Amino acid sequence: MLTLRKGRYAARLAESRADIEAAQRLRFVTFRAEAGQPAGAGRDADAFDDICRHVLVEETRTGTLVCCFRLLPLRGGGEIGQSYSAQFYELSGLQDFDGPMVEMGRFCIHPDWRDPDILRVAWGAMTRFVDEEGVEMLFGCSSFKGTEAEAYMDAFALLKERHLGPKRWLPRVKAPNVFRFAQKLRRRKPDAKRAMLGMPPLLRSYLVMGGWVSDHAVVDRDLNTLHVFTGLEIRAIPPARKRLLRATSG
């Protein structure tokens, strides 16, 4: 069973219904409360929770849950239609991917906790899972807060210029409300500093490892986010970055 302890934090797989409900409450605080719903009103839950594995990152002294995410393992691209992402993106290009995949979803860090070690421990846990399961592609939806694309024009222009996915894998439009940034910003040159300031931390992590994104963002008014499909072929991770990740996961 996946367990990892580094410094103040420890990551583990959920072992009970109570663990999953704790993750759902943290997701509610992170996603729903920031979207305007009362923080104590409930849990963020959906049907995918029952078929996913849930990873919890806790502060070891107090047991406080500071981060969580869920994992949906797939045997290959032929099962891509079972993923959460497939609700929003037309993913037929990935059906021919021949190798184990895992979708990472509902990644969140408690808004009151700012320690960068939390993200490092979360990625260490993910790295161990990928290695133990022989995963060849990691994917999911990376979210920008809010639904106004104008706030992130430099970030989207940078994604267009440097990080679009390979044509053979590139998701096509499925959701009714999208921002086609690769098309709309094809002539815009990004300000790299402003772009990185606007980039979500999870997406930044994907990109430094060689990750790629869809050519459009989905406007998700339910969670008050803009999100892009994000893929990472494990073999594409630079060797130096792999060594750092495995040092964290060891």
**Mean pLDDT, residues 84-99:** 97
What domains are defined for the chain?
3-249 (3.40.630.30)
> pLDDT tens for residues 147-157?
999 999 999 99
CB atoms within 10 A of CB 31: 20
CB 127 within 8 A of CB 142: no
| pLDDT reading at 40 higher than 90 | no
Indicate the DSSP class of residue 109: E
For residue 102, which amino acid is it?
Answer: V
pTM of the entire structure?
0.93
> pLDDT tens for residues 60-76?
999 999 999 999 999 99
For residue 65 the two structure tokens come to 């849950």
CB 217 within 8 A of CB 226: yes
CB 142 within 8 A of CB 206: yes
CB 140 within 8 A of CB 105: yes
CB 23 within 8 A of CB 70: yes
